[in-house]
Amino acid sequence: MPLGGVIFVTIFIAIFGTLLIYLARWTGGKAKKTSQAKFDIYECGIEVQEKKDTKVSVKFYLTAILFILFDIEVIFMFPWASNFKSFIASGAGVYIFSSMMIFLGIFIFGLWWEIKSKALEWD
């Protein structure tokens, strides 16, 4: 029976989505083409003056990647910390603790490497 429910939900979503698209087209009407300026992309009203060879510093990307990396580390640590008492109660506390310490060791080594290579300095 679970497959029947999935099929029902899929058909319902398809019909409901199609109905909403046609309802929006019917009630929204057509756009009137009064001028070309109305259909141009608006970005603060300033014409684009960007050169083709504009370069963005790699430091911005590196900082963003490091933020995401250490944010994911915290996301992995939260469930581990919340369930650690139940791991101890089940007898797997030493195994779970040692695996988390290996995980943290890898990340601490990565942070040490970033500091050592001066990747976080903006000089």
Per-residue pLDDT tens over the stretch 14-54 = 999 999 999 988 887 776 667 776 666 666 666 666 666 66
One domain, residues 64 and 107: yes
Shared-domain flag, residues 70 and 23: no
Q: What is the value of pTM for the model shown?
A: 0.48
Range of the domain at 73: 58-116
Q: Give CA–CA dist 106/101, Å, rounded.
A: 9
Contact 105, 57 (CB under 8 A): no
Domain presence at residue 110: yes
- Residues 24 and 62 both lie in one domain: no
Total structural domains within the chain: 2
Decide if 109 is inside a domain: yes
Q: Is residue 123 part of a domain?
A: no
